[in-house]
A = this chain, B = another copy of it.
Amino acid sequence: MDLALEFLSTFAQQLQKPTLAFLFGGMALAALGSRLEIPDAVYRFIVVLLMLKIGLGAGIAIREADPADMVLPALAAGVLGVGIVLLARVTLLLLPGVRPEDGLATAGLFGAVSASTLAAAMVMLEEYGMGFEAWAPALYPFMDIPALLLAIVLAQMARAKAAQRVAVPAGGPARPRPKAPRIGEILADSLRGSALSALVLGMVLGLVARPDPVFESFYEPLFRGLLSILMLVMGMEAWARLAELRRVAHVYAVYGVLAPLVHGAMGFGLGYLAHLATGFSAGGVVLLAVMAASSSDISGPPTLRAAIPQANPAAYVGASTSLGTPIALLSVPLWMALAEILFAL
């Protein structure tokens, strides 16, 4: 009873937080037809700055961290990325109206990680005063990349099987079939994307240079404010994509709502195991849950579009951006409240 009350109060308190408020604000602006626009150049710069900041912070932290502490959480992150895609394989893909390509692309995005959701969770944890290992955000690629790669490989296999089944066409010029990109290429391409490049660059600089002064005088103070702008953009985009989502099967909307909660719970569970085993912190567990709950909205979609051109972006981008990300953002207070209770026991 007491627990439930505490849970509800923590949760309600978090909903008032500016980060979520800006998200709702963006949705409201889009819904009301406001002409307010964040210029694209500014948005892209904000993403680079946020990713650099997360990377720098993690890199600086790793300098002092015990690498042994990171092994289990990193493993958990990888297991989550792979597990989320496999789970979709045996649930989402069996539903009626779901083409394998579309279902796998959707699963890949939801297995991957949203940088903006991660950043928002970091700010919420800091505001609330719930500590986390400063290197925890560096778990990002350990979940993101395996999920995307696995989804792409499964899609290529599904396609190859389908091609075998189709008999040789009775004649006429065969349409040139662009050959499937190889895993190495996809991996390299994914790491070359803007967001991941900035994250990795930040981590390397944090590790080998001494960027602490510029980190503290610039990246750290701007983080929260730039995130508020990013949330505005996410909110506007979420609303705009809802229309697209309406054009595809209902399953994607259902998946977009439920998957973040299921995946987040999986992330929380594995994180809690890591806590029991190696003392992974409460905030770290929340961040792992948030990464699992979130779906990639900036860097995942182009990777999937390039690698699975047959998949319909209205389905996977729609499910992720218009529902997955807002729900994942809203779920952050949930994991925090859960951690608050479990770690106090």
Contact = CB atoms under 8 A, between A and B. Distances in A.
B35 A39 contact: no
A36 B208 CA distance: 20
A53 B22 CA distance: 13
B29 A37 contact: no
A36 B205 contact: no
A158 interface: no
Contacts of A48: 36, 38
A222 interface: yes
A29 B201 contact: yes
A42 interface: yes
A205 B22 contact: yes
A25 B48 CA distance: 14
Contact of A42 (B32, B36, B45): B45
Contact of A228 (B35, B38, B127, B214): B214
Contacts of A221: 217-218, 221
A164 interface: no
Interface in A179-209: 188, 192-194, 197-198, 201, 204-205, 208-209
A10 to B, nearest CB: 15
Contacts of A28: 201
Contact of A18 (B21, B44, B211): B211
Copies held by the complex: 3
Interface in A211-264: 211, 213-214, 217-219, 221-222, 224-226, 228
Interface string A16-33: 111011100100110011
A41 interface: yes
B225 A214 contact: yes
Contacts of A127: 213
Interface string A33-70: 11111111110110010000000000000000000000
12 contacts: A20-B209, A32-B192, A33-B192, A34-B192, A36-B194, A38-B45, A38-B48, A39-B41, A39-B45, A41-B42, A214-B224, A214-B225
Given A17-B209, A25-B204, A34-B194, 16 more contacts: A18-B209, A18-B211, A21-B211, A25-B205, A36-B197, A39-B41, A39-B44, A39-B45, A40-B41, A41-B42, A42-B42, A42-B45, A211-B228, A217-B225, A218-B226, A219-B225
